[in-house]
């Protein structure tokens, strides 16, 4: 069985706190059978950052919108 993360916010993950880089995080997800991701950006600035981070990865769809509820929140995880 393969899983799809149908709504993740890669721009909101605090990688320093979980002591991983993005590639390690994604590899961990793949090892747990999550093989495709729909990541949603919460701002135009973050859209560009995420877009550059996943540019050469084929298992992503990137969507952008401004999420009014997340504008002043701190990164999660």
What does the pLDDT read at residue 10? 83
- Round to whole Å and give the CA distance between 30 and 36: 8
User: Domain-by-domain residue ranges, the chain?
Assistant: 3-15+28-70
Q: What is the pLDDT of residues 2-51, one digit of tens each?
A: 898 888 888 888 999 999 998 899 899 999 999 888 888 777 788 888 88
- Round to whole Å and give the CA distance between 11 and 49: 8
Q: What is the pLDDT of residues 42-77, one digit of tens each?
A: 777 888 888 888 777 777 777 766 555 555 555 555
């Amino acid at each position: 069985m393969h899983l799809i993360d149908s709504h993740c916010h890669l721009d909101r993950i605090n990688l320093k706190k979980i002591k991983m880089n993005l590639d390690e995080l994604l590899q961990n997800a793949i090892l747990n059978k999550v093989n495709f991701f729909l990541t949603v950006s919460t701002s135009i600035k973050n859209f560009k950052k995420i877009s550059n981070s996943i540019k050469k990865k084929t298992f992503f769809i990137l969507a952008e919108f401004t999420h009014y509820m997340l504008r002043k929140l701190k990164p999660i995880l």
